[in-house]
Amino acid sequence: MGRNNFYMIPKDFENVSWLESNLRKRPEDFWVKRGERRVLKLFQLMSQRVPAYKDLLKKKRIKPELIKTIKDFKEIPLIDKDNYLKKYPLESLCWDGKFKEKSFIICSTSGSTGEPFYFPHEEEQDLQYSILAELYLRANFEIQKRSTLYIVGFMLGAWIGGVFTYSAIRLLTKKGKYKISIITPGVDKMGIINVVKKLGEKFDQVIIGSYAPFLKDVLDDGIRLGVDWKKYNLGFVFSAEGFSEGLRDYILKTVGAKNIYTTTLNHYGTVDLGTMSYETPISILLRRKAIQDKVIYEKLFKETVKLPTLTQYIPELFYFEEIDRTVICSAFSGIPLVRYNLKDYGGVIGFREISEIFKEKGIDIIKESSREDIDKTLWNLPFVYVFERKDFSVKFYLCDVYPEIIRRALLVSELEKLVTGKFAMRVKFNRKQNQYLEVNIELKKGVVKGNDLKNKIAQILLDRLLKENPGYKFVYNHIRKRAIPHVILWDYESLKYFKTGGKQKWVYK
């Protein structure tokens, strides 16, 4: 592949041994400074070679030659889908105004927040993701030592998850130094179950890439069909949405995994820019410890109700900023983007800063990583964390109700054999025009609906909401019984809310 010398991937990143070694040895400032130099270069190149961005800067009266430092860079206006991507023809958003003249893989947004938008990706982006994948597959799953079957259980088609994952893993197989095979059943539960049953014991390990709630369904269905997941050495790579540590524990217990920190990891990615960051063993350890300590949690995330996904990133590949509790990113891509507002609610925190927060509570991150035997995977990189989007909630009287709390409530042991963990919630009005919170819940296959079960679940949801959501408690103290969630039970895979084959929709407006 002919690589552009200015483009997405620093040359030394292609040597994974160099990268692994230096991520451990070099200080965080080294990576941040490299990221700053690179994002300034990206800005200058875009101002010269991307017609749409060149026009935008002219309209904003920004003179590119005056943007010389990272302080200058932070004065550049933000761009987003509405003020940039939808304002210009697709061609003018690409390098040199070329679209049809080049070769792209084109992926689509889901259109959940409006019209679908089509993003062209170049092969360099596949290579970029394959470098990140190689890092975590070596660190977490030791693919350099084990024969591996990678099952792509993400949606295929125009969506980025399946195609992007397949392309990245395929590039790893082409390197010739890993014994790794790929199969692509997509979001087909029986397809994934059958692959593991027929091929799982022929490999040292099986890694399943999928959506966490869907994967839980796969595991539960397998148990119902008599599959002993503990027979196989399984690992998991998740994407598209956050999940609780309770769900992680459930998955680990179901498959008999011993290592909390290396058996699973979650991505942070978008169709706009691809996979930008991911959970590392230390980020999982820190998130779990933060959940146990309210002071640490609030200092890290400035939140008390929602649980974010906490990941590490390489600033040279994806340069993150936090502005007004919103995540901004700059990166090379088929449509290059500078100071792009991802509209994700979250923030950025440095490794040194996070270390100091834990140190104030007497916790030494380095010693903790050594104690948990994950010190060899400790990267000196900054963190980015993201909550569920602000529009992924319902407004119940004075408070926001986020899916995360409902998810945690449904994971309690007494419901483990009764519900799948999937639900769909909305706020409705009764005949007296009083609000009520409706939670539609999917039962496991064969579980019979009944008022006793419905009331039991409603009480569990209420108890959790009162415990974890101060706003909900305030509302409950004023309206009492009317604040108890209205639970509606649905048979397994009921089409209205729980159609199989895609990401679960948790919130209905």
Q: What is the pLDDT of residues 106-161, one digit of tens each?
A: 887 754 444 678 888 888 888 888 999 999 999 999 999 999 999 999 888 777 77
Q: How far are the Cα atoms of 10, 103, 142, 239, 312 from residue 277, in angstroms, in the given order?
A: 17, 26, 19, 11, 6
The reply to whether 493 falls in a domain is yes
Query: Which residues, at least 6 apart from 248, have a Cβ–Cβ distance to it below 8 Å?
Result: 260, 264, 284
Q: How far apart are CA 245 and CA 123, in angstroms?
A: 35
Question: Residue 479 belongs to a domain with what CATH number?
Answer: 3.30.300.30
Q: Which two tokens stand for residue 411?
A: 């994971």
The reply to whether 398 falls in a domain is yes
Of 444, 382, 418, 364, give the one whose Cα is nearest residue 29. 382
Is the distance from CB of 161 to CB of 239 less than 8 angstroms? yes
The reply to whether 281 falls in a domain is no
pLDDT score, position 350: 97
Of 152, 160, 163, give the one whose Cα is nearest residue 236. 152
Which stretch of DSSP H or E encloses residue 338? strand 337-349
The reply to whether 290 falls in a domain is no
The reply to whether 411 falls in a domain is yes
Q: For the CA atoms of the chain, what is the radius of gyration? A: 23
The reply to whether 131 falls in a domain is no
Domain of 477, in residue numbers: 394-498
pLDDT digits (tens, 9 = 90+) for 254-272: 999 989 999 999 999 888 8
Q: How far apart are CA 72 and CA 262, in angstroms?
A: 40
Q: Which two tokens stand for residue 250?
A: 């459930």
Q: Classify strands 337-349 and 326-331 as parallel, antiparallel or unpaired.
A: antiparallel
Distance, C-alpha 207 to centroid of its chain: 17
The strand order across the sheet containing 148-152 reads 180-183, 148-152, 205-210, 234-238, 264-270, 274-278, 309-312, 383-386, 337-349, 326-331, 319-323
Mean residue pLDDT across the chain: 90
Q: How far apart are CA 101 and CA 295, in angstroms?
A: 55
The reply to whether 321 falls in a domain is no
Judge if pTM exceeds 0.75: yes
pLDDT score, position 490: 96
Q: How far apart are CA 328 and CA 346, in angstroms?
A: 10
Residue type, 162: G
pLDDT score, position 222: 95
Q: SS3 sequence, 34-47? A: HHHHHHHHHHHHHH
- Name the domain count of the chain: 1
Q: How far apart are CA 4 and CA 490, in angstroms?
A: 54
pLDDT score, position 3: 43
The reply to whether 341 falls in a domain is no
Q: Could you list the pLDDT tens digit for every one of the 509 residues in the chain?
A: 334 445 667 888 888 999 999 999 999 999 999 999 999 999 999 999 999 999 999 999 999 999 999 999 999 999 999 999 999 999 999 999 999 888 888 887 754 444 678 888 888 888 888 999 999 999 999 999 999 999 999 888 777 778 889 888 999 998 889 999 999 999 889 999 999 999 999 999 999 999 888 898 899 999 999 999 999 999 999 987 788 898 899 999 999 998 999 999 999 988 888 899 999 999 999 999 999 999 999 999 987 677 899 999 999 999 999 999 999 999 998 899 999 999 898 999 999 999 999 999 999 999 999 999 999 999 999 999 998 766 678 888 768 888 888 999 999 989 989 999 999 999 998 877 778 999 999 999 999 999 999 999 999 999 999 998 888 988 898 889 999 999 999 999 999 999 876 678 899 87
Q: How far apart are CA 122 and CA 138, in angstroms?
A: 25
pLDDT digits (tens, 9 = 90+) for 400-449: 888 888 999 999 989 989 999 999 999 998 877 778 999 999 999 999 99
Of 475, 329, 492, give the one whose Cα is nearest residue 419. 492
